[in-house]
């Protein structure tokens, strides 16, 4: 076999390998980003026992809210383990936190409680991190979707059976979630 | 009224403060360190014939084409006249030289005192560091500059608190040594400025553990996607990787690298990106930022001396007003970047170090 042909095959094989690796790396980045989102969802769900305990001290008769909170946490955990619908559980949990903050408005002592304030700050911190994790996921998905639809990587992607992945979208419930900052009118300066 | 509003209000009344509190200081300084040259002038008048005569005779004696004993004697007389003048004028010259040095030292002290009073007037929490050292640690960790510079200088350093946000601001300059050789083979060393401006460090309103850098992107505007691809490849072999964000305007202006892309997005929310962009547009200079150890470090170029006070009566008021407005503009960063918003930060008291 002439050397030119061998070199040609080698170059093609190299380019294919680079494209293949790039696709695999993009796919893995998505999985990594999903892992990040899940870890923040778990972290947020883990705030619920402390939140329930704090709310109970000042608003023990809000039994419906407390039960719903516990239920939301259970749904989230089963969603994270794959047994339940995760986006739905996520949306339910976001709504629950909104409700807790709204209820706290009726209980000035609860609103002023240091534990509650710290929980609220932690919740805001996790919400921020969660939002960042979702943006990381979306960025990874956009790069992946672009790669599997662009020439020539689309040929390798279709051979590997790679399909488009959906980006995270804000649900109606999330879009309507109360602005905690405005609700509490609390800034540092 | 917020801390920044109070600051703005005080800055607007700088002229009154200057007239009431600073002018008396300058007047007292001028009175105390006045250099009276009357006695010196009187003695100079007395000695003038001696000096002129002495110089003339020395000149004649040394430049004569036919030297003789008589000329040598005249020359000696000339030297004698000059010596007598030196004895008569010497103590006065020495006294005035000492006074001038003393006045210069006092002026340096006054300059610091005026600055300190001025910034304490703006906000009692603000402090001037009398002996600033170059913030080497901040300079190295922020990774915004070429660390191979040959000369580093710190000019002024201020500490303070706005609301709950502690900050430290250092005016710095970094220089590169350039050696040039002229046609005669004579070498000349010059220091070319690499950066002159402010290093502003403040506690950030969020906790984070990684490092995120927001640098001016000079290449993407010129080379577009090609530059981004090159940055991506370069980033893949470095500790900090390129982070591509959603805002096209922000992406075209800045290059973001981070040790943790999710954390970079946590810091650089869409709102914060807007704020950084508006800060850059407002100042019209290449503002850069680093986020390290839950602190923000901003590098704001400022080619001229930032906190310079002049002593003349009109100059002092004008330069104080200028300093106040510059100071407010920098402190407004805290407001503009929303650093005072502690809503997402569980309480963890910490110190913002000067280094």
pLDDT digits over A36-51, tens only? 888 998 888 888 888 8
For B343, the closest of A131, A135, A181 (CB atoms) is: A181
Q: How many CB pairs under 8 A join A and B?
A: 76
Confidence grade of residue B220 (pLDDT, cut at 50, 70, 90)? low
In eight-state DSSP terms, residue B20 is I
Q: Which residues are CB-neighbours of B64 under 8 A, at least 6 positions away? A: B71
| Helical H segments across chain B, by residue range | 3-12, 14-17, 23-32, 38-63, 69-122, 136-142, 218-223, 225-236, 248-253, 261-267, 270-283, 313-336
Rounded to an integer, what distance in angstroms lies between the CA atom of residue A134 and that of residue A26?
Answer: 16
Instruction: Among A165-174, B44-53, B305-314, name the most confident range.
Output: B44-53
Q: SS3 for B227?
A: helix
In the block, residue with structure tokens 């402190």:
B331
Chain A partners within 8 Å of B344 (Cβ): 121, 124-125, 127-128
Q: What are phi and psi of B197, to 5 degrees?
A: 165, -155
Mean pLDDT taken over chain B: 83
Rounded to an integer, what distance in angstroms lies between the CA atom of residue A56 and that of residue A65?
Answer: 10
Instruction: State the DSSP string of B121-185.
Output: HH-TT-EE-SS----HHHHHHH--S-TT-SEEEEEEEEEEEETTEEEEEEEEEEEEEEEEE-TTS
CB spacing of B340 vs A189 below 8 angstroms: yes
The pLDDT assigned to A146 comes to 94
Confidence grade of residue B350 (pLDDT, cut at 50, 70, 90)? very low
The neighbour count for residue B153, using CB atoms within 10 Å, is 14
Check residues A117 and A177 and name the one with the higher pLDDT: A117
Chain B partners within 8 Å of A184 (Cβ): 343
The pLDDT assigned to A149 comes to 93
pLDDT digits (tens, 9 = 90+) for A91-115: 788 888 888 888 888 888 888 888 8
Q: For residue B215, give both structure tokens.
A: 């640098």
The pLDDT assigned to B289 comes to 92
H/E stretch holding A4 reads helix A3-45
CB spacing of B162 vs A121 below 8 angstroms: no
Among A122, A168, A188, most B C-beta atoms within 10 A, so best to mutate, is: A188
CB spacing of A125 vs B345 below 8 angstroms: yes
Confidence grade of residue B349 (pLDDT, cut at 50, 70, 90)? very low
Q: What mean pLDDT is predicted for residues B24-50? A: 87
The pLDDT assigned to A178 comes to 45
The pLDDT assigned to A13 comes to 93
Confidence grade of residue B321 (pLDDT, cut at 50, 70, 90)? confident
The pLDDT assigned to A103 comes to 83
Q: What percent of chain B has pLDDT over 90?
A: 15
The pLDDT assigned to A187 comes to 39
CB burial of B309-333 (b: ≥16 within 10 Å; e: otherwise) equals beeeeeebbbbbbbbbebbbebbbb
The pLDDT assigned to A114 comes to 86
Task: Put the strands of the sheet holding B288-292 in their side by side order.
Answer: B127-128, B151-162, B165-181, B187-203, B295-301, B288-292, B211-216, B254-258, B241-242
> Global pTM?
0.74
CB spacing of B163 vs A181 below 8 angstroms: no
The pLDDT assigned to A83 comes to 60
Chain A partners within 8 Å of B345 (Cβ): 121, 125
The residues that bridge with B241 in the sheet, in sequence order, are B258
Residue of B nearest to A118 (CA): B346
Kindly tell me if the per-residue pLDDT of B58 is higher than 80. yes
Check residues B81 and B331 and name the one with the higher pLDDT: B81
Instruction: State the DSSP string of A94-154.
Output: HHHHHHHHHHHTT-HHHHH-HHHHHHHHHHHHHHHHHHHHHHHHHHHHHHHHHHHHSTTHH
């Amino acid at each position: 076999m002439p050397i030119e042909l061998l070199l040609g095959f080698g170059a093609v094989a190299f380019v294919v390998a680079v494209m293949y690796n790039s696709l695999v790396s993009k796919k893995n980045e998505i999985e990594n980003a999903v892992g990040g989102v899940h870890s923040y969802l778990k972290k947020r769900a883990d705030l619920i026992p402390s939140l329930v305990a704090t709310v109970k001290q000042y608003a023990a008769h809000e039994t419906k809210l407390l039960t719903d909170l516990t239920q939301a946490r259970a749904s989230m955990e089963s969603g994270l383990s794959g047994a339940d619908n995760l986006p739905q559980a996520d949306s339910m949990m976001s709504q629950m936190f909104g409700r807790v903050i709204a209820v706290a408005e009726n209980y000035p002592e609860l609103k002023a409680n240091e534990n509650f304030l710290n929980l609220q700050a932690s919740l805001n911190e996790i919400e921020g991190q969660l939002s960042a994790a979702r943006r990381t996921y979306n960025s990874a998905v956009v790069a992946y979707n672009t790669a599997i639809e662009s020439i020539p990587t689309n040929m390798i992607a279709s051979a590997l059976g790679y399909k488009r992945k959906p980006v995270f979208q804000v649900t109606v419930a999330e879009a309507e979630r109360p602005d905690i900052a405005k609700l509490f009118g609390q800034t540092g300066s | 009224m917020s801390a920044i509003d109070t600051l703005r209000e005080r800055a607007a009344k700088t002229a009154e403060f200057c007239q009431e509190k600073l002018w008396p200081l300058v007047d007292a300084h001028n009175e105390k360190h006045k250099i009276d040259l009357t006695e010196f002038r009187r003695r100079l008048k007395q000695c003038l014939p001696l000096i002129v005569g002495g110089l003339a005779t020395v000149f004649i004696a040394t430049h004569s084409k036919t030297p003789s004993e008589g000329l040598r004697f005249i020359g000696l007389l000339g030297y004698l006249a000059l010596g007598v003048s030196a004895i008569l004028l010497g103590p006065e010259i020495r006294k005035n030289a000492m006074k001038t040095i003393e006045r210069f030292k006092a002026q340096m002290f006054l300059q610091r005192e005026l600055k300190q009073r001025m910034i304490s007037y703006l906000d009692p929490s603000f402090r001037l560091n009398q002996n600033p050292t170059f913030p080497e640690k901040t300079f190295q960790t922020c990774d915004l500059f070429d660390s191979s510079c040959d000369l580093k200088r710190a000019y002024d350093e201020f500490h303070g608190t706005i609301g709950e946000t502690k900050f430290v601001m250092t005016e710095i300059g970094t220089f590169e040594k350039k050696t040039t050789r002229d046609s005669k083979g004579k070498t000349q060393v010059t220091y070319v400025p690499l950066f002159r401006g402010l290093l502003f460090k403040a506690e950030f309103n969020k906790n984070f553990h990684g490092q995120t850098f927001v640098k001016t992107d000079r290449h993407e505007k010129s080379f577009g996607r090609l530059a981004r691809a090159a940055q991506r490849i370069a980033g893949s072999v470095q500790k900090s990787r390129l982070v591509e964000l959603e805002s096209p305007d922000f992406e075209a202006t800045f290059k973001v690298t981070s040790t943790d892309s999710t954390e970079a997005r946590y810091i650089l929310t869409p709102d914060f990106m807007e704020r950084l962009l508006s800060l850059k547009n407002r100042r019209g200079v290449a503002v850069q930022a680093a986020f390290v150890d839950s602190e923000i470090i901003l590098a704001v170029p400022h080619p001229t001396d930032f906190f310079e006070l002049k002593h003349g009566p009109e100059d002092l008021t004008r330069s104080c007003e200028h300093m106040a407005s510059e100071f407010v503009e920098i402190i407004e960063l805290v407001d503009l970047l929303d650093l005072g918003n502690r809503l997402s930060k569980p309480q963890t008291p910490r110190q913002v170090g000067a280094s």
